[in-house]
Amino acid sequence: MPDTGAVEMLDEPAAAAELARLADVLASHDLRYYQDQSPSVSDADYDALKRRNAAIEARFPHLVRDNSPSLRVGARRSESFAPVAHGVPMLSLDNAFSDEDAAEFDARVRRFLRLGDEVVAYTAEPKIDGLSASLRYENGVLIQGATRGDGRVGEDVTANLRTIPEIPHRLAGTGWPEVIEVRGEVYLGHAEFAALNAAAEQSGDKAYANPRNAASGSLRQIDPAITAGRPLRFFAYAWGLISEPFAESQWDALAALRSWGFSVTPQARRVEGATGLLDAYAGLEAARPGLGFDIDGVVYKVDRLDWQTRLGFVSRSPRWAVARKFPAERARTILEAIDIQVGRTGAVTPVARLRPVTVGGVVVENATLHNADEIARKDVRIGDTVVVQRAGDVIPQIVEVVLEARPAGAEPFVYPTHCPCPLRTPLARETTTAGVETVVRRCTGEFACPFQRIEHLKHFVSRRAFDIEGLGEKQLTAFFDEGLIGEPADIFRLVRNETVLATLRERDGYGETSVRNLRAAIEARRTIALDRFIFALGIRHVGETTALVIARGYGDAESFLAAMDRVADRDPEAMAELDAFDQVGAAVIEAAAAYFGEDHNRRIVRALRSELTILDAEKPKTDTAVAGKTVVFTGSLERMTRDEAKARAESLGAKVSSAVSKKTDIVVAGPGAGSKLKTAAELGLTVLTEEEWLALIGA
């Protein structure tokens, strides 16, 4: 086994290179071991490599790689666990960061439900900082347990979850539904975390950065015996699929979960109104240091389950719950440099390169500086001591400069006037459609700018887009620089090109297994959901939510692409159709027209399309009285808000539009309806009162 010298002798560049080598070598050993079940090295040699990796990382903590073997401590890669489709998706929560946000949540709920002055009851539960799991019980018996995964499909970790004492194998008591997915958080207490890390240090293994990483690593062990040795714990707080209702409120549901043998956080409280929300937050903030486990906020949930149902969901999070997060953690460090990064739309962002510092358990080396104005406003200078903060998964930020610590001679930062790309195109200050200058500066190089092209590709392969594992930033950049990948379609062409694959196999630190994995990862994404495809195109203003709305609106790829060609030609009917989709406005239409108006883009999309199988969007309901009908609400509604009416109609498969046209099927008109009602009458459309509408949908 090549061992390139004593760890103590390595300088920084040599250490970085050695860590890269070890990551590759260990990854290929792991693969042989776990996937092919044929170890390629002895356990002793494998352990020696791991120790060497850990020793180098201990000397150079800032060089720890994203794919470091130490971060995986035996954790099996995801393809080792069978996929499990959740009966009901595992969603995420919207965040609230202030008292105002919390009060606004209460106000929003009351507005949506039209409650006027009625006081709403909520549960306020600790937001446990672990990883969520879903446990499927049939007739009271645990039959399957899964991680969250992407929310729809998780990993089957049943054997590992069974080792957790707080997860009942058989439900106690009575009253459980025949089928229920119990949801909750797997976590590790502070004392157990400290003990685990102490033991790891003893045996020369790398310590985990925080209890959450440790819980995640422990749950995702190939060998359940290892998981069993980790003192994991579990709090139940929610449910997914149920064969029948079992409670009328979140509070009663928590009590039911407890009666069936689950642990439920004892700090959960039932509170009333906005003041109740604020009290609960203050109470938990005070209790936090003494809890013995990590929490990162409070989850507020509307208590009444019938109200939860009415409130429903927005995209991927419920309207009936919100996570109130604790403030970000902060630390001081030195600003070593300011680099200018070019985004996929050409917008440039200054990035602070920091002396590595641990903030809230994570090493931070970069922070965003947003824009030139922000640098000037904060008067950030190279060499300054700065306060950095990090909250959740957001990009770390520089809060302020510690002026007392400014070194003599530190000069104000001079913002570059040209893109750092090889073309050196001038940066233009962006103006709004109304001609007002914004803080955004853009490289005007567009597709000639290699920096923009690579950013497009990074977005394309990113987790929420095509999610191509194994084609990380480093690999993608290398392939781009070598001319192997210039546009998205090239990714799929690459793995069919035997000549290229053969040269890749010959590469240092690459080889047969890496090529096989890359190929499998790419092939796995040749079939893709329409909303992901749309999101991945990187059209400005089209985020995940809008992509989903657009996908559902058009239904399939052909209809979407045909419509986009017409939008590009500024066909009024096509533009109106797009405009009618919920959450799609002028900015999206303009961006879509600009994107598809570019020949270059049309060619790129067509080439990509021909490489893929694009799945139709989730079909709206077809078995309801209003399925497939286009509905317009006008005038004021008395029994529900406009938002609720819209959400309800959409959940029943109707399309809700804001404009009346001959394509409209039903107009629901309340008091005060004006021109839309008139148009409806002229077109001879069905016009219903709110009562008639409610009767039609069976509400």
Which stretch, 120-128, 193-201, 629-637, 681-689, contacts ligand IVH (CB under 6 A)?
120-128
Q: How far is CA 388 from CA 294, 333, 398, 470, in A?
A: 21, 7, 5, 31
Q: How many residues does the chain have?
A: 699
Nearest CA to 16 out of 4, 28, 30, 31 is that of: 4
CB of residue 88 to ligand IVH, shortest distance in Å: 10
Q: How far is CA 36 from CA 33, 94, 96, 469, in A?
A: 6, 41, 46, 19
**Residue 82 CB partners (closer than 8 Å, separation 6+):** 155, 156
The residue within the footprint of ligand IVH, chosen from 52, 127, 230, 459 (CB under 6 A), is 127
**120, two tokens:** 């709403």
Q: Is 321 in the site for ligand IVH (CB under 6 A)?
A: yes
- Assign 673 to helix, strand or coil: coil
Residue whose C-beta lies closest to ligand IVH: 132
Are 388 and 333 in contact by the 8 Å Cβ rule? The answer is yes
**48, two tokens:** 């020696």
Q: Is 154 in the site for ligand IVH (CB under 6 A)?
A: no
Q: Is 314 in the site for ligand IVH (CB under 6 A)?
A: no
Burial of residue 62 (CB within 10 Å: 0-12, 13-18, 19+) is: middle
Q: How far is CA 81 from CA 104, 187, 214, 298, 584, in A?
A: 41, 20, 18, 31, 39
Cα gap 238→257, rounded to integer Å: 9
CB of residue 141 to ligand IVH, shortest distance in Å: 24
Are 171 and 261 in contact by the 8 Å Cβ rule? The answer is yes
- Interface of this chain with ligand IVH, residues 579 to 618, rule: CB under 6 A: none
Helix (H) or strand (E) holding 191: helix 190-202
CB of residue 239 to ligand IVH, shortest distance in Å: 9
Enumerate the β-bridge partners of residue 145.
Answer: 135
CB of residue 531 to ligand IVH, shortest distance in Å: 19
Q: Pick between residue 195 and residue 282 the one whose CB is nearest to ligand IVH.
A: 282
Q: Pick between residue 185 and residue 690 the one whose CB is nearest to ligand IVH.
A: 185
Which stretch, 102-110, 125-133, 464-472, 484-492, contacts ligand IVH (CB under 6 A)?
125-133
The residue within the footprint of ligand IVH, chosen from 18, 24, 57, 185 (CB under 6 A), is 185
CB of residue 553 to ligand IVH, shortest distance in Å: 25
Q: Pairing state of beta strands 321-325 and 362-368?
A: unpaired
The residue within the footprint of ligand IVH, chosen from 145, 318, 346, 553 (CB under 6 A), is 318
Are 327 and 387 in contact by the 8 Å Cβ rule? The answer is no
Q: Is 631 in the site for ligand IVH (CB under 6 A)?
A: no
Q: Is 128 in the site for ligand IVH (CB under 6 A)?
A: yes
Nearest CA to 98 out of 357, 325, 348, 286 is that of: 325
Q: Is 461 in the site for ligand IVH (CB under 6 A)?
A: no
* 127 annotated active-site: yes
CB of residue 185 to ligand IVH, shortest distance in Å: 5
CB of residue 164 to ligand IVH, shortest distance in Å: 16
Are 150 and 76 in contact by the 8 Å Cβ rule? The answer is no
Q: What is the DSSP letter of 69?
A: G
Rg, the chain, Cα only? 28
Q: Pick between residue 58 and residue 314 the one whose CB is nearest to ligand IVH.
A: 314
Cα gap 284→268, rounded to integer Å: 9
The residue within the footprint of ligand IVH, chosen from 68, 132, 158, 425 (CB under 6 A), is 132
Cα gap 363→329, rounded to integer Å: 12
Q: Pick between residue 258 and residue 540 the one whose CB is nearest to ligand IVH.
A: 258
Backbone dihedral region for residue 447 (phi beyond 0: left; psi -120 to 50: alpha; all else: beta): alpha
**692, two tokens:** 């008639």
The residue within the footprint of ligand IVH, chosen from 58, 91, 382, 529 (CB under 6 A), is 91
Q: Name the E strands within 77-173.
A: 83-85, 95-96, 121-128, 131-138, 141-147, 153-155
Q: Pick between residue 145 and residue 318 the one whose CB is nearest to ligand IVH.
A: 318
Q: Pick between residue 265 and residue 333 the one whose CB is nearest to ligand IVH.
A: 265
CB of residue 434 to ligand IVH, shortest distance in Å: 37
Q: Pick between residue 237 and residue 535 the one whose CB is nearest to ligand IVH.
A: 237
The residue within the footprint of ligand IVH, chosen from 33, 137, 208, 237 (CB under 6 A), is 237
Q: Is 323 in the site for ligand IVH (CB under 6 A)?
A: yes
Q: Pick between residue 325 and residue 629 the one whose CB is nearest to ligand IVH.
A: 325
The residue within the footprint of ligand IVH, chosen from 24, 57, 125, 577 (CB under 6 A), is 125
The number of residues that bind ligand IVH (CB under 6 A) is 14
Q: Is 238 in the site for ligand IVH (CB under 6 A)?
A: yes
Cα gap 64→363, rounded to integer Å: 9
CB of residue 312 to ligand IVH, shortest distance in Å: 11
Q: What are phi and psi of 445, to 5 degrees?
A: -75, -15
Q: What are phi and psi of 691, to 5 degrees?
A: -60, -45
Q: Is 445 in the site for ligand IVH (CB under 6 A)?
A: no
The residue within the footprint of ligand IVH, chosen from 40, 92, 475, 559 (CB under 6 A), is 92
Which stretch, 22-30, 67-75, 87-95, 665-673, contacts ligand IVH (CB under 6 A)?
87-95
Which stretch, 85-93, 421-429, 474-482, 562-570, contacts ligand IVH (CB under 6 A)?
85-93
CB of residue 235 to ligand IVH, shortest distance in Å: 7
**114, two tokens:** 């039209």
Q: Pick between residue 24 and residue 125 the one whose CB is nearest to ligand IVH.
A: 125
Sign of CA dihedral 222, 228, 234, 239: positive
The pattern of x and - marking residues 35 through 54 that bind ligand IVH according to CB under 6 A reads: --------------------
Q: Is 93 in the site for ligand IVH (CB under 6 A)?
A: yes
**77, two tokens:** 């890669």
- Interface of this chain with ligand IVH, residues 270 to 299, rule: CB under 6 A: 299
- Residue from 50, 127, 206, 676 carrying the catalytic annotation: 127
Are 446 and 352 in contact by the 8 Å Cβ rule? The answer is no
- Assign 520 to helix, strand or coil: helix
Q: Is 86 in the site for ligand IVH (CB under 6 A)?
A: no
Helices and strands in the chain: count of H runs, count of E runs: 25, 26
Q: Is 308 in the site for ligand IVH (CB under 6 A)?
A: no
Chain residues binding ligand IVH by CB under 6 A are 91-93, 125, 127-128, 132, 185, 237-238, 299, 318, 321, 323
Residues acting as catalytic residues: 127
